[in-house]
Amino acid sequence: MTFADFQALIEKMYSHKDRARGTPITFMWLCEEFGELATALREGSDADKAEEFADVLAWLATLANVNGVDLTAALTAKYGAGCPGCGRWVCTCESKQ
């Protein structure tokens, strides 16, 4: 499944609920999923981690759909020519950390 396929699937399955919920509440659900992912990374099984990564992506796709953002186009525009900072496929930007 491509990212575009996944975003379309989420749109088909949930758009009627997502648009009624709106951006602020959808964003809060995404934040909750990040918390669940953090817990899974800290103490969960591999299956728990995989499930929470999938949930985060689903809520991110939902938020993009509600806001009319094509994630494939956004990813291509930002990262399709390499690192946004140095323009290389293997980043050579100086680390800020």
Q: What is the CATH classification number for the domain harbouring 40?
A: 1.10.287.1080
Q: Is residue 66 part of a domain?
A: yes
Q: Is residue 19 part of a domain?
A: yes
Q: Is residue 94 part of a domain?
A: no
Count structural domains, the chain. 1
User: 2 Cβ partners below 8 Å, 6+ apart?
Assistant: 72
Residue 95 has what pLDDT?
Answer: 79
Q: Is residue 93 part of a domain?
A: no
Q: Is residue 89 part of a domain?
A: no
Q: Is residue 50 part of a domain?
A: yes
Range of the domain at 13: 3-79
Q: Is residue 23 part of a domain?
A: yes
Q: Is residue 25 part of a domain?
A: yes
Residue 54 has what pLDDT?
Answer: 98
- Give pLDDT tens digits for 8-38: 999 999 999 999 999 999 999 999 999 999 9
- Give pLDDT tens digits for 59-70: 999 999 999 999
Burial bucket for residue 10 (CB in 10 Å: 0-12, 13-18, 19+): buried
Residue 97 has what pLDDT?
Answer: 57
